[in-house]
Amino acid sequence: MNKKQLEEQMMENFKREEHMMILVFAQWCINHDLDPEALYRQAYPEQPNNEALQKAMELTVPKEEAGDVADATLLGVLSLFGNEDLAYIVTQEIEKRGRKLR
């Protein structure tokens, strides 16, 4: 495998993993009755509609059918991909949920 092929393979792997991160985010939102697109816009108001998020939303399932996505798992994945702004918004939602339970 030459250098160009290796770089292309690495980019494809990153894109696949990024899509998985977006799917985890979208499913977490669905599981907590939150709108993934609205949260994304709060974190990144200057960005147009996120096509990858829209595709991921097509793959989500109703929360009754979904497995649990732990808050820490989502925050870790977002951090891994450098989505600190989105992680901040997610953290705010987690805190709101905690206040409602009290």
Q: How confident is the model at residue 100 (pLDDT cuts 50, 70, 90)?
A: low
Q: Is the pLDDT of residue 101 over 60?
A: no
Q: What is the pLDDT of residue 57?
A: 94
Q: What is the pLDDT of residues 18-76, one digit of tens each?
A: 999 999 999 999 999 999 999 999 999 998 888 999 999 999 999 999 999 999 999 99
Q: Which among 62, 55, 47, 66 has a CA at the least distance from the CA of 21? A: 55
Q: Is the pLDDT of residue 14 over 70?
A: yes
The string of DSSP codes covering the chain is: --HHHHHHHHHHHHHHHHHHHHHHHHHHHHHTT--HHHHHHHH-TTS---HHHHHHHHH---TTTSPP--HHHHHHHHHHTT-HHHHHHHHHHHHHHHHHH-
Q: What is the pLDDT of residue 81?
A: 92
Tell me what the mean pLDDT of segment 84-88 comes to: 97
